[in-house]
Amino acid sequence: MAAKQVEQALVQQWRDILALHARTQCELDRALHEHGLCGSDFEVLDILAGALRGCSYRIQEIAERVHLSQSALSRLIARLEREGLAERGLCAEDRRGVRVSLTEKGRALHDEVLPVQRAVLTRMLTRD
């Protein structure tokens, strides 16, 4: 009986985590929509903003840090590139690879939206 209760508590904890993630993702998408972004867009911009100016990430490095399939990430990066927020270039170390970096426009948008994203995270994840 005690083992069953432990199992049920574990399952409930997992479901609570999923629900918190879903609520937080919805709030992020709602808040970022005003700026023409969704949560996934911002995650990629945030990762790219972490690079030193003039530096870039390989797409595989970004894929390891976001929860998107390789094809979804490629489409997202293509959209950011079309909007002038990111740019792709060949990888010097591996000519088959692609590197991605922020443009000045992308960095400016990231800087503008960062407080919005952080405020949502604070509101959603510091509740009692």
* Rounded Cα gap, residues 124 and 128, in angstroms: 10
9's CB contacts (< 8 A; 6+ apart) are none
What does the pLDDT look like over 59-80, one tens digit per residue? 888 999 998 988 999 999 999 9
Write down the pTM of the prediction: 0.85
Q: What is the pLDDT of residues 17-52, one digit of tens each?
A: 999 999 999 999 999 999 999 999 999 999 999 876
- The whole-number pLDDT of residue 58 equals 84
Structure tokens at 111: 């800087």
Average pLDDT, the chain: 90
Q: How many CB atoms are located within 10 Å of the residue 8 CB?
A: 10
Beta bridge partners of 100: 57, 88
- Which residue's structure tokens are 């503008």? 112
